[in-house]
Amino acid sequence: MASQPLHPVWGTGLRALRRSQYAQQVFTSVIAEWQSVQGDERAAEISPLIAQVNESSVYRDLAIGHCIRLHFTPSEKTDCDELMMGLVRALYQARRTDKVVEKKLLQLQTDARSYQAWLELALVWQQQRKIWLKKAGQSLMKAIPERLWQAGKRGA
């Protein structure tokens, strides 16, 4: 079965966002399993990550939702400017939470003797989340007028 052509404006960005969400889902699974196998005293070290991971999931979902609406909804039936600014805000908010998560992972690295394999796996998927989010932003930046991009960025 041949793949369908991408939407000329939103398709590439939406695909990259979905890949970032996929990496987010795997990353969330890794963190949840890592926390459950650590036992009560070690799980407390990992639990601060959970809130940030959940927050970044929300922002990715929001970005994808906005992008899907821009992709499929005729522009005369919706406020595209507001959707585009919301999309940019969600991208920057996801990026900000990703930075917090990465900082927490790197702090755990200083005491990684007992869970080095988990940390390495988490860092692999953390990088995938960031790579695809960045690719989405680069693609979507081409589709969103500069004034709306800047307004969305300021609101993040």
Contact present, 16 and 132 (Cβ < 8 Å): yes
The reported pLDDT for the residue numbered 122 is 92
The reported pLDDT for the residue numbered 1 is 45
Domain ranges of the chain: 11-155
Long-range contacts of 53-58 (CB under 8 A, 24+ apart): 53/24, 53/27, 53/28, 53/101, 54/28, 55/97, 56/24, 56/94, 56/97, 56/98, 56/101, 56/129, 57/21, 57/24, 57/28
The reported pLDDT for the residue numbered 46 is 80
- The whole-model pTM stands at 0.85
Q: Give the Cα separation of 6 and 17 in Å (integer).
A: 14
The reported pLDDT for the residue numbered 6 is 52
Q: Give the Cα separation of 84 and 48 in Å (integer).
A: 31
Model confidence over 85-121: pLDDT tens digits? Answer: 999 999 999 999 999 999 988 888 776 566 788 888 9
Tell me which residues of the chain have a pLDDT lower than 70: 1-8, 40-42, 74-75, 77-78, 111-114
* Structure-token match 């990088």, residue found: 127
